[in-house]
Amino acid sequence: MPPATEIAAPAAQLSQTTPVFSPSDVTVVFVLGGPGAGKGTQCARLVAEQGFTHLSAGDLLREEQNRPGSQFGQLIKDYIKDGLIVPMEVTIKLLENAMTEALRQKGTTKGRFLIDGFPRKMDQAHKFEEAVCPAKLVLFFDCPEKVMEERLLERGKTSGRTDDNAESIRKRFRTFVETSMPVVNFYEGEGKVIKVDATPTPEDVFKTTNKLLTEKLAFPRGP
């Protein structure tokens, strides 16, 4: 993790107009879907199968929240508990740092990233594409609230997450419908969305996802 001071100075970084990474070097796939839709589970499978690097915005925020000395710890904690979206400067900087670090570790400038649970709001989408890297595709896991609620309550028994309880779940659903679905719809309009029904078993969802993603990466405008 970088020192907080690097995250604390996003203005200069984020006001730049050239993205840090070029889409010819770096493939970015956003992974969206309601809370509990199975984004993290499917991403783990795609990493194993396709060699993506998986970056979960929520995990990065929780890590930063728990980092001793972080000036954003309390802010992140409050936003997550209430199912609200943390100010984008923090999340975008964490993602950019994680991408840089992953490429550095691999000793390369080329890579493929699954950015999970992000962007959840239109301003994040625009800013990330402008400052960090344009996105190639969006994987959207479509799941009814009833199913997601059951999964989250089950996960809440062991996850230790402060937001896997009935009240936070309600708030997260609301944020998803009001703020995050517009992002999915925007990318749908750009022809970048791969929509997958997330109700079947993880295995079945993965088979569909893997097939559709492989096809779409090879033929972005259709075969």
Contacts to Mg ion by CB under 5 A: 40
- Residue 170 annotated as binding site: no
Cβ partners under 8 Å of residue 140, min gap 6: 32, 33, 184, 193, 194, 195, 196
Residue nearer to ligand UDP on the CB measure, 79 or 113: 79
Q: How far is the CB of 59 from Mg ion (least distance, A)?
A: 7
Q: Of 55, 54, 53, 79, give the one whose Cα is nearest residue 65.
A: 79
- Residue 172 annotated as binding site: yes
Tokens of 84: 């609200």
- Residue 39 annotated as binding site: yes
Instruction: For residue 104, give Cα distances in angstroms to 20, 98, 108, 111, 220.
Output: 14, 10, 6, 10, 28
10 binds ligand UDP (CB under 6 A): no
Q: How far is the CB of 104 from ligand UDP (least distance, A)?
A: 23
156 binds ligand UDP (CB under 6 A): no
83 binds ligand UDP (CB under 6 A): yes
Cβ partners under 8 Å of residue 203, min gap 6: none
- Residue 194 annotated as binding site: no
**Is the peptide bond prior to 119 cis by the omega test (within 30 degrees of 0)?**
yes
- Residue 174 annotated as binding site: no
- Which residue type is seen at 126? H
Known binding residues for a ribonucleoside 5'-phosphate are 62, 84-86, 117-120, 124, 161, 172
Interface residue list for ligand UDP (CB under 6 A): 35-36, 39-40, 56-58, 61, 79-80, 83-86, 91, 117-118, 120, 163, 172
